[in-house]
């Protein structure tokens, strides 16, 4: 069953880190191939990741920055539940 964008978006970081299962990866890539929103999201994340790795700090559009921050926060909270 195909998930919703939000389901996939939650996995995008793991996807970019190569930390998701091959099955989920396939599903995700299939969805990205069909979904413009998610494709933009992945491209943006990829760009951000590579910018971070290069140690560059570039200005992201505010809306995108907020989106990314929310995703990262959510991921962070999952990995490190509040003390």
Residues that bind Zn ion (CB under 5 A): 5, 35, 37-38
Question: Residue 10: phi, psi to the nearest 5?
Answer: -65, -20
Are 68 and 48 in contact by the 8 Å Cβ rule? The answer is: yes
Min dist CB 55 to Zn ion, Å, is: 30
In the bound state with Zn ion, the residue whose beta carbon lies nearer, of 5 and 51, is 5
- Least separation, in Å, of the C-beta of 35 and Zn ion? 3
Closer CB to Zn ion, residue 41 or residue 52? 41
Q: Is the separation of the CB atoms in 23 and 82 below 8 Å?
A: no
CB-nearer residue toward Zn ion: 6 or 83: 6
Q: Smallest gap, in angstroms, from Cβ of residue 52 to Zn ion?
A: 23
């Amino acid at each position: 069953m195909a998930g919703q964008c939000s389901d996939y978006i939650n996995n995008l970081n793991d996807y970019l880190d190569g930390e998701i299962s091959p099955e989920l990866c396939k599903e995700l890539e299939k969805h990205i191939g069909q979904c413009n929103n998610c494709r933009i999201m992945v491209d943006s994340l990829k760009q951000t990741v590579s910018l971070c790795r290069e140690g560059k700090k570039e200005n992201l559009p505010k809306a995108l920055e907020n989106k990314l921050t929310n995703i990262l926060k959510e991921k962070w909270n999952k990995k490190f539940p509040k003390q």
